[in-house]
């Protein structure tokens, strides 16, 4: 997989807030495969502080899927 000219060969997950004003969600969603992008509804750029439960759940599911492989 390629992102910004860099080849990514390890599993990755993007967790992105739909209300992020720093990096526009629609731009990110265009570039990232849906199965690797978790949208945090109304999440800001500080979503680990504002939506910690959603972020923790996404990380936990991603990590468990890696272990199951």
- pLDDT over 80 at 9, yes or no: no
Q: Does the structure show a pLDDT above 90 at 64?
A: yes
β-pairing, 14-17 with 37-40? parallel
Number of H helices and E strands in the chain, helices first, is 3, 4
Find tokens 């599993």 and name the residue.
11
**11-43 pLDDT, tens per residue?**
888 898 999 888 888 887 777 777 788 989 998
* Secondary structure of residue 46 in the 3-state scheme: coil
Q: How far apart are CA 23 and CA 50, in angstroms?
A: 16
Q: How many CA atoms lie within 13 A of 21 on its CB side?
A: 0
Query: Is the pLDDT score of 46 beyond 70?
Result: yes
């Amino acid at each position: 997989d390629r992102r910004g000219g860099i080849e990514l060969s390890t599993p990755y997950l993007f967790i992105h807030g739909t209300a992020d004003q720093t990096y526009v969600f629609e731009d990110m969603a265009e570039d990232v495969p849906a199965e690797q992008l978790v949208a945090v509804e109304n999440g800001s750029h500080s979503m680990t502080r504002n939506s910690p439960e959603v972020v923790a759940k996404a990380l936990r599911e991603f990590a468990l899927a890696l272990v199951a492989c």
